[in-house]
Amino acid sequence: MSASSLRVEPGFAFPAEWIALDAAEQRRLHGHCGIPPARYGEYCDAGLLARRTITLNTAAIQASRPGLAPVHVVHRLRQHAPAPLGEKLRLDGRYVEIADARRGQIARSRWEYRQDDGTLLLTVEPDVMMVDPEGKGDAGGKRSTAAPREEDTREEDTGGWAVLTRKQCTPETTCGYCLNTTNLIHTDPATALRYGFRAPIIAGNQTVNFVLEALSLDARPQSFDIEIRFRKPVFWDDAVAIEGRRGAAGTLTGIRAVNGEGATVADATVNAVAYGV
């Protein structure tokens, strides 16, 4: 199926793909995130596997909704078991809902990564906002009767946060991570300005990598269920602190990214995590 055949509509199924993430590509991308190669060992960073879902969302939006800018706003990942580096996985995805939002629409999709024998390793559910530069919604979408999901599930700030890692974004790391992207909002200052940003913004998935790394600082997780919400843009020159909060068992229950001005740019709820790899 060509890119021109992709459609952003509920029920549309993307053609199945076989994908693999090798050690060299993981090392390259992690280099732009300040993540050491030993962090994940011989296993894939689920956040890097999940990049393909955003690439395909972007292609579909650019093909069927030209003029709208795709912006990643929510990402839910459920790792059922870690994927070995280099192993081919079957990727299946479809749109489950198109909902109206203040500046356009939100495309919600569900993706599954399976081994050759059908074993499910990873489920990814991203929300991608299709931003209208004129600030007008699209009447073709479904208006949700509930409050927007990204506002419903905000991680309540009751204190107890501690800095886990610090990241410094630069134009070089942003462009390196977004190598060959067709979404110029990440790499071109003029495009970013057109959509209301003072400078290019890093890919939402790069923030996903920052957040997921926090789960692997103490040990490598066997499985996890996490929902990450992007609150504010992270610009390509921002400094970001990754903070965590632990529950009674000592495991992380919340993670957030805070910029140099003290604003939370992303937060995450860790619904479950199990260690053992």
User: pLDDT over 90 for what percent of the chain?
Assistant: 82
Q: What is the mean pLDDT of the chain?
A: 90
pLDDT of residue 3: 72
pLDDT of residue 64: 94
pTM equals: 0.87
CATH of 3-139+154-275, one of 3.40.50.12280, 1.10.1040.10, 3.10.129.10, 3.40.640.10: 3.10.129.10
Of 149-163, 222-236, 255-269, the range with the lowest mean pLDDT is 149-163
pLDDT of residue 104: 83
pLDDT of residue 148: 37
pLDDT of residue 208: 97
Residue 1 scores a pLDDT above 90: no
Residue type, 212: L
What would the pLDDT profile of 238-275 be if each residue is shown by its tens digit? 999 999 999 999 999 999 999 999 999 999 999 999 99
- Tell me the sheet residues that pair with 224: 79, 273
pLDDT of residue 277: 61
Of 32-46, 94-108, 117-131, the range with the lowest mean pLDDT is 94-108
Residue 268, SS3 per DSSP? strand
pLDDT of residue 158: 61
- Tell me the sheet residues that pair with 113: 91, 122
CA–CA separation, 22 vs 8, rounded Å? 30
Spatial contact of 259 and 267, defined as CB atoms under 8 Å apart? no
Q: Domain ranges for the chain, please list them.
A: 3-139+154-275
What would the pLDDT profile of 77-94 be if each residue is shown by its tens digit? 999 999 999 999 999 999
pLDDT of residue 157: 61
pLDDT of residue 173: 98
Residue burial 177-206, b: 16+ Cβ < 10 Å; e: rest: bbeebebbbbbeeeebeebebeebbbbbbb
Sign of CA dihedral 150, 120, 51, 108: negative
Which residue in 80, 16, 10 sits closest to 44, CA to CA?
Answer: 80
Rounded to an integer, the average pLDDT of 51-58 is 95
Give residue for tokens 């110029």: 184
Can you spell out the DSSP letters for 164-194? EEEEE--HHHHHHHTTT-S-GGGT-HHHHHH
Spatial contact of 61 and 9, defined as CB atoms under 8 Å apart? no
pLDDT of residue 144: 35
pLDDT of residue 218: 85
What would the pLDDT profile of 170-186 be if each residue is shown by its tens digit? 999 999 999 999 889 99
What would the pLDDT profile of 98-122 be if each residue is shown by its tens digit? 999 887 899 999 999 999 999 999 9
